[in-house]
Structure 1
Amino acid sequence: MLKRILLIKGFFKDPDKKSFFKIIYELFIYGWAKKEFPTDYFRKFLYRKGVTNITSYLSLKEFYSIIDSKKILVPDIATILESKLSFSLFTDKHNLPAPQIISYNIGKNFYFNSKHYIINSKNELIDFFAKVFNNSKEAALFLKPINGIGGKGCLLFNKEQFKLQINDDCYNTLVNHNYLHQEKIMQHPTINKIHPNAINTLRINTYLDTDGNSHVISALMRFGSGNLVTDNESSGGFYIALDIENKALKGVGRQSMSRNGNTFTHHPDSKVKLDGFKIPYITESIELTLLAAKMLPTRIIGWDIAITQKGPVIIEGNSNPSLNMADIAYGGLCKHPLIKNILDEIKN
C-alpha cells in the first residue's frame, strides 16, 4: 500500500490532470464505489482528462480477490508456471512451441547434454560455455533466472563475444543464482521494424470457465527500448493494446506511474507509428494460448508469446498476471463480460 501511495509523486508532474475539485470528487466516488482507499485512482491514471468511466477499472481489492481466490488459482499448477525450468519441460512434454533448453545451472552446478559440471572459477565458466557453443551450434544463448520476474537479470551471450561478456560480475551473478540457458529466438522481421534489440512479446490473458472452456480476456503487446534485451515494462519497455479482430496495435504505448506514465504514439527509437501497425500470426497466437490454457487448469494465466517467421512460440506463462496493464489499455476491465463473471463467481 505504501509503495502505491509513494507512486503518486508522478501525478504531480503530470500536465494532463483534471481540475483539483474534479479529482477530489472522483476520489470520493471511486473509493465509495469500490469500498476501499482509492490508491489505484492514481496508479491507473483515472485523474487524466478524457477518462470518464472511472468505476469500470479494477480496484486493488477486486484484483486481489481474483488472483487470491481458491476458485481461480490452483497452487500446484502455479508452481509449474513460476519455475521457468519446470515450465520449459512442460512445453516440451506437450509439444507446445517454445524456446529450446540448451543448458542450465543451479548455482555452481551446470548441466549440458546430460552431463554435470561444477564451476569454481571464471575460466571454468568460459570453458563451459565454449563447450556449449561448440556442441550445440547455437550462435547466441538467452539466459534468464529460473524464478525471475519482470525480465530482471536476463543475459544474452553471443558466440563471438561471450568470453568478453563473462567478467567477474557476470560470473558471480551466474554461480550465485539459478539460470535457464535457451536458444535465442529469431524474431519476425515485421516486429523488428519496430524494435529489433529485444524479443517483443504479446501478453495474452486467458480464462478457463467452470465448464473448462478457454477464453481470451485481453491481448497486449510489449516493446523494449534502447539496448534492452527484454521488453518488460518494469525494465523500461512499454505496452500497447492489441486489436485482435484487426490484428493490429491499437491506441498509444504506455508506461506505468513508476516511469511517470509516459505515452507513445511512435516507438521512441525507430519512430514507427504504433496505432494500426499490423502484427503477424495473431490468430495463431490466440489459438496457441487457448490450447495451452486447457493443459494447465489454473483459471487465469498471462501468456508471453514471441512471434517468429514460422509462427508464435510460448516464452512463459504467468499464474499471477498483472491485469493492471490490460485494465489501463482497454479502458477498464470491469465492463468486460468475463471479468464480470469472475467477480460474480468469487462473491457467490
Structure 2
Amino acid sequence: MKFFLARFNQIREDNNPKKSWSKIIKEVITLSIQNKRIPTYYVKTFMYLESSGNYKDFLTLDEIIAINSSPKLHRLEYTTLLKNKLASALYFEKCGLSIPEMPSYNVEKLFFHKSKFERLETTADLIQFFRKVMQESQKDSLFLKDHGAHGGADCFLLKLGDLEAKLEEIEPILLNGSFIHQETVLQHAELNKIYGHSLNTMRFETYIDRDNKKHIRTCYIRFGANGSVIDNSSAGGIGVPVNIETGQLYEKGFKRASGLNMANIYLEHPNSEHPFEGFIIPHFEAAKQLVFDCMKFVPDRYIGWDVAIAANGPVLIEGNGSPRLRESPHGFKSSAIGREILNEIYSK
C-alpha cells in the first residue's frame, strides 16, 4: 500500500503539465485489464505527463522480458561474455577498443597482477598489494567492480591517500568476491561542470536489423548526484536524453522512482544548477564510432553500451546484454525501430 501511495503522491506533487486525472485513471485501468496486472511502470516512466505521448507506446513488463530474452536478438555466448566484467574487459582489450586500463583483478582471495598471482588473506596483505599495483602502474586511484554485478552495485573507489581505511572497510567483500581493478577515468572537464563526483556515462542502445544494418536506437547520459561516485539510477542518478545527431542534451533529466522514493524531473542538475538543454557532449561523434566498433566485435542484436568521455576522447566502460530499455520521455514503440523489434520477436 505504501508503494502505491508513493506513486500517487508523485503524480499529485509533480508540477509539470499532466494529463487529466480522468485520463490517467482510464489509462491505468485499460493497461491493468489488458496485461492482467497493475502497470507499476506507469509512474516510473512518467506516462502521466502530457508530453509522454501515446500511453500504448510504452513497453509492458512482458514485452521488456521478451526483448531481453529473445533468441532472435541474443546469443548465449555474447550475453554471457557481457555479464562477466572480467571476461569482457580482457576481450575488449584484445580487440583494441578504448577501455580503462586494468592493472589487476581478483577471484576471491587470488589476486592477479601482470603475469603473477598471489593469495591474500588479510587487510595488511591487501594494502601491500594495492600499494604496489598503484606504484607500478603510476595510478593514485583504482575503480573496483564486481565481475557479475550490475546497476552500480558492489563498486568501490580506492584512493592512495585513504587506502588503509577503505580496504579495512571492504576487506570481507573483496576477499569473498571477484573484482576487476581498473584505472579511474579522468572525465572531460566540460562534463565536470555539470557533475564532477562521478564518471557520467552515456548509454547507447544499439540494434542490428535482419539486413545486418547497425542502428543506435537511443542515447542518454547519466549524471550522479548528491556526492555519489556512481551515476546509476539505483544510486539516485539522473538520466538525460541525448540528440543522436548532434550530441546535444534535451531539456529534461529524469530520476527514476525506486522503492518508496519518488521520481523527479529536472531542468538543471540539482547540485551544480547547470542547465541540461543545449549542452553539447564532447567527442560525441567519436563516441558513436566507438559504439559501432563495439558492435563489430559483439554482434548481438540488441545491446546497451556504456561510454564515458575522457579528456582525449571516448572510453568504453562496459556492454549490457539485457539493458534497462530507456523510454523517458517517449515510449519504445513510438519509434520505427522499436516497432520493428517487437514485430520481429513476436512473429512466428
Q: What TM-score do you get using the length of structure 2 for normalisation?
A: 0.93
1:63 & 1:322 partners in 2: Cα distance? 8
Residue equivalent to 2:310: 308
Where do residues 123-142 of structure 1 align in structure 2 (5 Å cutoff)?
Answer: 123-142=124-143
Residue equivalent to 2:196: 196
CA contact (8 A) 1:7 1:43 kept: no
Per-residue deviation, 1:58: 1.4
Per-residue deviation, 1:227: 2.0
Residue equivalent to 1:146: 147
CA contact (8 A) 1:214 1:294 kept: no
Q: Deviations over 1:122-181 (max 9, x none)?
A: 1111111111122111121111111111111211111222123221x3111110111100
Q: Is 1:13 matched with 2:14? A: no
Q: Is 1:334 matched with 2:330? A: no
Q: What TM-score do you get using the length of structure 1 for normalisation?
A: 0.93
How many residue pairs were aligned? 340
Residue equivalent to 1:208: 208
> For the structure 1 residues 7 and 215, does the alpha-carbon distance in structure 2 shift closer, same or farther, using more than 3 Å as the test?
farther
- The worse-fitting range, judged by mean Cα deviation, of 289-298 and 5-14 is 5-14
Q: Deviations over 1:36-79 (max 9, x none)?
A: 65333233222334444111111212211211111011111111
> For the structure 1 residues 37 and 165, does the alpha-carbon distance in structure 2 shift closer, same or farther, using more than 3 Å as the test?
closer
CA contact (8 A) 1:219 1:242 kept: yes
CA contact (8 A) 2:108 2:178 kept: yes
CA contact (8 A) 2:225 2:270 kept: yes
2:337 & 2:174 partners in 1: Cα distance? 42
Segments of structure 1 that go 5 or more residues without pairing to the other structure are none
1:68 & 1:246 partners in 2: Cα distance? 32
CA contact (8 A) 2:52 2:331 kept: no
Q: Deviations over 1:68-92 (max 9, x none)?
A: 1110111111111001111101111
Residue equivalent to 2:298: 296
Per-residue deviation, 1:97: 0.3
Q: Deviations over 1:265-293 (max 9, x none)?
A: 11111111111111111111111112211
Residue equivalent to 2:176: 176
Per-residue deviation, 1:10: 2.5
Per-residue deviation, 1:333: 1.5
Segments of structure 2 that go 5 or more residues without pairing to the other structure are none
Q: Deviations over 1:281-327 (max 9, x none)?
A: 1111111112211221211110000001111110000000010xx21
**Identical positions, percent:** 34
> For the structure 1 residues 36 and 297, does the alpha-carbon distance in structure 2 shift closer, same or farther, using more than 3 Å as the test?
farther
Per-residue deviation, 1:7: 4.4
Where do residues 1-348 of structure 1 align in structure 2 (5 Å cutoff)?
Answer: 7-14=3-10, 15-16=13-14, 18-31=19-32, 37-167=38-168, 169-258=169-258, 259-323=261-325, 326-329=326-329, 331-348=330-347
- Tell me, what secondary structure is at the counterpart of 2:127? helix
2:104 & 2:213 partners in 1: Cα distance? 36
2:3 & 2:208 partners in 1: Cα distance? 33
CA contact (8 A) 1:200 1:231 kept: yes
Per-residue deviation, 1:18: 4.3
